[in-house]
Amino acid sequence: MADADVYDLYAVKYATHQRKAAANFVNPVDPHEAWPIDYFVWAAVSSSRTFVIDTGFKAETAKKRGRTFLRCPTEALALIGVDAKAVKDVIVTHFHYDHIGNFDLFPAATFHLQDREMAFATGRHMLNPKHGSSMNVDDVVGMVRHVYGKRVRFHDGDADLAPGISLHHIGGHTAGMQSVRVMTKRGRVVVASDAAHLYANMETRNPFPVIFELDKVLAGYDRLKALADSPDHVVPGHDPLVLKYYPAVSPKLAGIAVRLDAAPTRGRG
């Protein structure tokens, strides 16, 4: 594999939410236990290409939904040297409000998404508040506009975007939920996004309670592990432990940005 096909991989935190375990698990052990979640965007950077994975939400969305907004996701990316304005490829793991806001701040990007997610977000399931309430309609409409602007690349299932970067349709959480596998210097790392919100969802097979198809959520946990080089190569989408387990990009960015291409300090396997 050429050097250009091995990526540095980052997780960058842009928001957080104090909540109880009841909001994170179908069957919480203690529903009243404090169990905060973090909000991230991710970036895979090689000597020749940059892929941004998800684009986060805006301050106004945070306010509406009671989330603690720490920094614009594009400012978060700037901290690790990624200029949103120059990014050519954005992978959209799914259409929930915390993953597809801000795409207007990526003027040069093509957006990679699953056929099934666009159909899901614009079809009958959105009549059900259980699914529709996790979408921001303006973001969905914005993405439809990008379709007409020819800035969307649709994928139907798994796809290789470039040597070392592949998409994997998982479903479950939403119909078109996809995770991203990235070749790094420590091997193949899977950015699960919301195919696994927290380590504990995956490890105890006790899913996050926003579910489209439960059997696919559970099968997805197995799939993530099968795709990655080890259980320690699977990175959940909202777990504050990610910032504890992985080394900070620099001392200044401790608690904000970590290197997922470096081994975690504490194994989960």
- Chain residues binding Zn ion by CB under 5 A are 98, 194
Neighbouring C-alpha atoms within 13 Å toward the C-beta of 32: 0
Give 95 or 246: the residue with its C-beta nearer to Zn ion.
Answer: 95
What is the nearest approach in angstroms of Zn ion to the Cβ of residue 101?
A: 11
Give 98 or 117: the residue with its C-beta nearer to Zn ion.
Answer: 98
Give 8 or 221: the residue with its C-beta nearer to Zn ion.
Answer: 221
How, if at all, do strands 257-259 and 165-169 pair? unpaired
Give 173 or 223: the residue with its C-beta nearer to Zn ion.
Answer: 173
Rounded to 5 degrees, φ, ψ at 33 are -65, 135
What is the nearest approach in angstroms of Zn ion to the Cβ of residue 238?
A: 6
What is the nearest approach in angstroms of Zn ion to the Cβ of residue 149?
A: 25
Give 8 or 239: the residue with its C-beta nearer to Zn ion.
Answer: 239
How, if at all, do strands 165-169 and 159-162 pair? antiparallel
What is the nearest approach in angstroms of Zn ion to the Cβ of residue 250?
A: 26
Rounded to 5 degrees, φ, ψ at 118 are -65, -40
What is the nearest approach in angstroms of Zn ion to the Cβ of residue 3?
A: 33
Q: How far apart are CA 227 and CA 265, in angstroms?
A: 21
Q: Is 228 exposed, middle or buried (0-12, 13-18, 19+ CB in 10 A)?
A: buried
Q: How many CB atoms lie within 10 A of CB 158?
A: 15
CB 25 within 8 A of CB 34: no
